[in-house]
Structure 1
Amino acid sequence: MCHELTAHTAAIKNFLDTDPEEMILRSGASYSKNREGINIEYFGRTYTVSLKDGVVMAGNNKNAAPKDATLILQYLKQSSGLPPRGKWISFLELPQGIHHHVPFLKDACQPISEALSNNPVLFMQRAARLDGQPIKMGDAGAQISAFPKLPLAVAIWQGDDEFPAKANILFDSIAPHHLTTAALWVLGCELAQKMINP
């Protein structure tokens, strides 16, 4: 929890120190109606970030969960402006991804596999709730926009006598230009939680 708070505090400071026009231009965000905040799409929902204090609000006027708020602030600050490349890479292929690959499989991919691998229909319903679009991958696959310029792919394979069920989360190869590998690890875990607990 302490690390989470530290990351969040740092993310707020970095956000408030950055020119809003620059963040909007690079991230695919927009000004809120009163121009006192920035609107950003995150997993198919609109969030508003206050330019006064960096507080992140969900569409229902509730504060965003700390991990979601931190990721939104980090993306707005760090996004390079580059569009998706349409090439999927695994977590292992991210910069220093090898150091967090096993935890990523355990904390992000395995929960999706356990909850949804043997129910492709439910998997696609859950993906659709995050504005996911079907793609040809695994026994069922979906492309989900985490942020305007940062799509993820998630796929499941049903188990059989020879192979166990599994799930995987892939990143567009542009991802490291928008978030650090550590932040992308959290993003994958948040996708898993949103798929499992809609």
Structure 2
Amino acid sequence: MSEFVMNKNQEPLERRADELREDLFQRDVNQLAELTGTSLRKEEGDNVFEFHYWGKPVVFSSNDFLARDLGSQQPLPPIHQAMILYYFHSSKGSPAIGNWISFSELSDGQFYNSAFQGYTAQKLTQYFQMDYDKFETRNEDQCGVRVDFGDGAFRHQILPQIAILVVYWKGDEEFPPSYKILFEDIADYHLPTDGCAILGSMLVGKLLAE
């Protein structure tokens, strides 16, 4: 599993971000925009990608490949820079969106699945238990869109081609409730499995934050 998921030391992350950034300087900006599903605004001496990240507008200049908040123009924190760089670096042509799949169905996901479930599904279950109203309110607070799946589910659009589904199945006298994080089956075309794990962990953190 990625060394970045639960690691507070940002140096390895920043080093990897620099490597990805150097690669992007060699890429064609028009192709990048097409593969990532972002808008490309051409300015004098610059090309600026525009897209939403966690529901907020972001700009990403080809002059430095730093992601900035559209309103404040302040650079995003290192972990978010890395996720966006991974997305631009990894995105390739993908088929139409099809089905929701579990983390274990991602490339190499089976190998890391136990750890991923430990800091996503298990945390959600321990926190929400049978308080489904609270679960739904938290998802709505994070701009999740209700989807007809399981006993209740919310779709979160993280990047233009990356969405995450948070779903629950109600418990009863015999079985406890179950919560799970799912990904669209095109995720492998746009992020490495490490990146999907980090985004899943981030989403759980947002849902559990008091």
Name the TM-score class by shorter chain: 0.7 to 0.9
Q: Where does the alignment leave 5 or more consecutive residues of structure 1 unmatched?
A: none
Taking the aligned partners of 2:115 and 2:27, their CA distance within structure 1 comes to: 32
**Residue 52 (structure 2) pairs with residue 50 (structure 1):** no
Say which SS state the counterpart of residue 176 (structure 1) adopts: helix
Q: What is the percentage of aligned positions where both structures have the same residue?
A: 25
Residues 38 and 118 of structure 1, relative CA distance in 2, 3 Å threshold: same
Partner residue in 2 for 1:59: 70
Task: Report the TM-score when normalising by structure 2.
Answer: 0.82
Of residues 163, 174, 181, the one that matches 1:162 is 174
Matched residue type, 1:113? T
Q: Where does the alignment leave 5 or more consecutive residues of structure 2 unmatched?
A: 1-8
Could you tell me how far 1:92 is from its partner in structure 2?
0.7
Of residues 13, 35, 57, the one that matches 2:22 is 13
Structure 1 residues 147-156 or 107-116, which shifts more? 107-116
Partner residue in 1 for 2:163: 151
Matched residue type, 1:147? L
Taking the aligned partners of 2:121 and 2:42, their CA distance within structure 1 comes to: 38
Structure 1 residues 113-122 or 85-94, which shifts more? 113-122
Structure 1 residues 21-30 or 76-85, which shifts more? 76-85
Could you tell me how far 1:181 is from its partner in structure 2?
1.2
Task: Report the TM-score when normalising by structure 1.
Answer: 0.86
Partner residue in 2 for 1:3: 12
CA deviation map 1:91-150 (0-9, x unaligned)? 111111122101111122223333334332332333334432211233321122222222
Could you tell me how far 1:159 is from its partner in structure 2?
4.1
Of residues 23, 29, 51, the one that matches 1:40 is 51
Taking the aligned partners of 2:143 and 2:130, their CA distance within structure 1 comes to: 21
Residues 68 and 108 of structure 1, relative CA distance in 2, 3 Å threshold: farther
Say which SS state the counterpart of residue 98 (structure 2) adopts: coil
Say which SS state the counterpart of residue 122 (structure 2) adopts: helix
Q: 1:84 touches 1:172 (CA, 8 Å); kept in 2?
A: no
Aligned Cα root-mean-square deviation (Å): 2.3
Taking the aligned partners of 1:119 and 1:13, their CA distance within structure 2 comes to: 47
Taking the aligned partners of 1:130 and 1:82, their CA distance within structure 2 comes to: 27
Matched residue type, 1:6? R
Matched residue type, 2:143? D
After superposition, where does 1:96-115 map in structure 2 within 5 Å? 96-115=108-127
Say which SS state the counterpart of residue 143 (structure 1) adopts: strand
Partner residue in 2 for 1:180: 192
Of residues 35, 49, 61, the one that matches 1:26 is 35
**Residue 204 (structure 2) pairs with residue 192 (structure 1):** yes
**Structure with greater Cα Rg:** 2
Say which SS state the counterpart of residue 120 (structure 2) adopts: helix
Aligned residues between the structures: 198
Q: 2:29 touches 2:47 (CA, 8 Å); kept in 1?
A: no
Matched residue type, 1:7? R
Say which SS state the counterpart of residue 38 (structure 1) adopts: strand
